[in-house]
C-alpha cells in the first residue's frame, strides 16, 4: 500500500507548537524558592545549627527572609503544577489520576532515599500531601477554598491549644520533636556515615514527620497545595499582567497582616501571664502566630516577585532562575550531596568551624555554580537527570531527553 499521501511532514514550527507550554514565571519562582531553601540550609548547617545554636545577624536576617517561606512557595507551586498536568492530560481525554498516584509514589521513594542522607527531606511530605489534591481537584472553588482556609488557619493546632487551656495536664509538657531531634543531632555531629544512615532509616524520618505535625507545617503545606490549585484555576500565573492591580492590593494587605502578627508575637509573655499558659501552651500560641506571620510574608514575597516580573528589566533577570526551577528535583538532591558532607561530623564537620557568615558566602558561590550547571545542562537536554528518570518511571518507558535528537526527529 502507498501511504505517501497520508503522511504529513512535520515542520519545525509545527513541532514547537506541539511542545508542552511552560510558564516561565512559575519556573523562575520555583528557582527562587530553591535558592532560598538552599541558603537557609547552608546557614542552618543542614540542621546542625540547632545542635549548638548561636543566633546572630546573619541568622536573624536569613530566617526572617526565607525560613518557613521557601518550602511554602514550593507547596503552592506543587498545587499549580498538579492542575496543569491534570488539565493537559484531560484535554487529551486521559484520566491522569492513577498515573499521578504512581508519580507521587515514585517521589515518596526518592524522598526516602534522599532522607537517608538528609533527614530534613521535603519530598516525602510533598508526595504524601499530594494525595489530597487527587481527592479535592474535582470539588468546587468554594469547597476547595474552605478546606484551604481550615489548614492555613491552623485549625487542628488551635483545637489542641484550646484543649491545653481546658486540661493542661492532658497535653505534653514540651514538643515531642525536641527530644527526638536532639538525639539525631548528636549522631549527625559526631557519628560515622554508617551511623548517619542507620539513624535516618527510621528515627531521622520519624522526627521530621513529628516536627511537621507539631509545628503545623503539614497543615500549611496542605493549605497551600489547595491554594495553588485555586490560583491555577484562575490562570493567575498565565495572566499576571491582567492581575497587576489585584497583585498590588494583595501585597498591601499581606504586609499589613504580617505587621499585625509580628505585633502579636511581641506580646507573648504578657499573654502567657494573663491566661496562665503552660510552657507547651505558650509554645503552641507562638507556633500558630508564627505560622500566620510566615504565611503573610510568603504571600508578600510571591506577589512582589510577580510585580517585579512584570518589569522587562526584572523579567530578564528573574528568568535566569528559570532553568533551576525546571530541574529543581535534581538540584535539591544535589544540594544535600554537597551540604551534608560539608557540615556533618562523618566528613568535614564544618558546623564547628565555618560560622554562618562563611556558610552564607559559600552558599552564594555554590548557588551560582548550580545556576551555571542548570543553564548548560538544559541547552543540551529537555529535563534534568532526576526529572528525566522520574518521567521515565512515571510512564514506564524511556523518554527522549536530548534536544538535538528531538530536533532531528522533528525535521
Mean pLDDT for the stretch of residues 291-309:
95
pLDDT of the residue at 266: 80
Rounded average pLDDT over 398-410: 70
Say whether pLDDT at 265 is over 90: no
Which run of H or of E encompasses 151? Answer: helix 141-152
The Cα–Cα gap between 139 and 133 comes to 10
Domain ranges of the chain: 26-242+321-376, 381-411
Residues 110/386, Cβ–Cβ less than 8 Å: yes
Chain segment 105-145, per-residue pLDDT in tens: 999 999 999 999 999 999 999 999 999 998 888 899 999 99
pLDDT at 7 (0 to 100): 33
**Rounded mean pLDDT of 64-93?**
90
Listed residue (250, 76, 234, 77) closest to 141, CA to CA: 234
Q: Closest by alpha carbon to 49, among 36, 59, 61?
A: 59
pLDDT digits (tens, 9 = 90+) for 186-236: 999 999 999 999 999 999 999 999 999 999 999 999 999 999 999 999 999
The secondary element (H helix, E strand) that includes residue 371 is helix 355-380
Location of C-alpha cell 521515565: 392
Residues whose CB falls within 8 Å of the CB of residue 140, separated by 6 or more in sequence, listed in order: none
Helix, strand, coil tally for the chain in percent (to 5): 80, 0, 20
Amino acid at each position: 500500500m502507498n501511504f505517501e499521501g497520508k503522511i504529513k511532514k512535520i515542520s519545525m514550527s509545527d513541532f514547537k507548537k506541539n511542545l508542552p507550554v511552560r510558564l516561565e514565571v512559575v519556573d523562575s519562582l520555583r528557582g527562587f524558592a530553591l535558592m532560598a531553601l538552599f541558603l537557609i540550609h547552608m546557614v542552618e548547617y543542614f540542621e546542625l545549627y540547632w545542635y549548638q545554636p548561636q543566633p546572630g545577624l546573619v541568622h536573624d536576617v536569613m530566617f526572617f527572609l526565607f525560613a518557613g517561606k521557601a518550602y511554602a512557595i514550593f507547596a503552592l507551586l506543587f498545587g499549580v503544577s498538579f492542575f496543569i498536568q491534570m488539565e493537559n492530560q484531560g484535554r487529551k481525554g486521559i484520566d491522569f489520576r492513577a498515573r499521578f498516584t504512581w508519580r507521587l509514589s515514585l517521589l515518596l521513594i526518592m524522598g526516602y532515599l534522599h532522607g537517608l542522607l538528609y533527614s530534613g527531606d521535603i519530598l516525602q511530605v510533598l508526595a504524601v500531601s499530594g494525595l489530597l489534591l487527587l481527592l479535592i481537584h474535582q470539588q468546587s472553588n468554594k469547597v476547595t477554598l474552605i478546606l484551604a482556609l481550615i489548614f492555613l488557619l491552623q485549625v487542628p493546632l488551635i483545637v489542641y491549644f484550646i484543649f491545653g487551656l481546658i486540661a493542661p495536664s492532658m497535653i505534653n509538657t514540651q514538643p515531642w520533636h525536641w527530644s527526638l531531634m536532639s538525639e539525631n543531632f548528636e549522631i549527625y555531629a559526631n557519628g560515622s556515615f554508617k551511623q548517619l544512615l542507620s539513624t535516618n532509616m527510621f528515627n531521622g524520618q520519624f522526627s521530621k514527620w513529628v516536627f511537621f505535625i507539631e509545628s503545623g507545617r503539614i497543615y500549611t503545606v496542605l493549605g497551600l497545595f489547595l491554594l495553588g490549585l485555586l490560583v491555577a484555576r484562575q490562570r493567575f500565573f498565565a495572566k499576571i499582567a491582567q492581575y497587576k492591580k489585584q497583585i498590588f492590593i494583595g501585597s498591601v494587605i499581606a504586609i499589613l497582616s504580617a505587621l499585625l502578627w509580628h505585633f502579636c508575637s511581641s506580646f507573648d509573655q504578657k499573654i502567657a501571664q494573663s491566661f496562665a499558659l503552660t510552657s507547651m501552651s505558650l509554645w503552641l500560641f507562638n507556633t500558630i502566630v508564627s505560622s500566620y506571620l510566615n504565611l503573610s510574608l510568603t504571600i508578600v514575597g510571591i506577589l512582589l516577585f510577580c510585580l517585579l516580573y512584570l518589569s522587562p528589566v526584572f523579567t530578564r533577570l528573574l528568568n535566569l532562575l528559570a532553568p533551576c526551577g525546571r530541574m529543581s528535583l535534581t538540584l535539591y538532591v544535589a544540594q544535600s550531596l554537597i551540604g551534608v558532607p560539608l557540615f556533618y561530623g562523618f566528613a568535614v564537620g564544618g558546623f564547628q568551624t565555618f560560622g554562618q557568615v562563611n556558610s552564607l558566602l559559600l552558599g552564594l558561590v555554590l548557588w551560582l555554580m548550580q545556576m551555571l550547571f542548570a543553564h548548560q545542562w538544559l541547552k543540551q537536554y529537555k529535563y534534568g537527570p532526576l526529572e528525566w528518570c522520574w518521567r521515565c518511571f512515571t510512564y514506564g518507558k524511556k523518554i527522549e531527553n536530548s534536544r538535538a535528537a528531538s530536533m532531528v526527529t522533528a525535521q
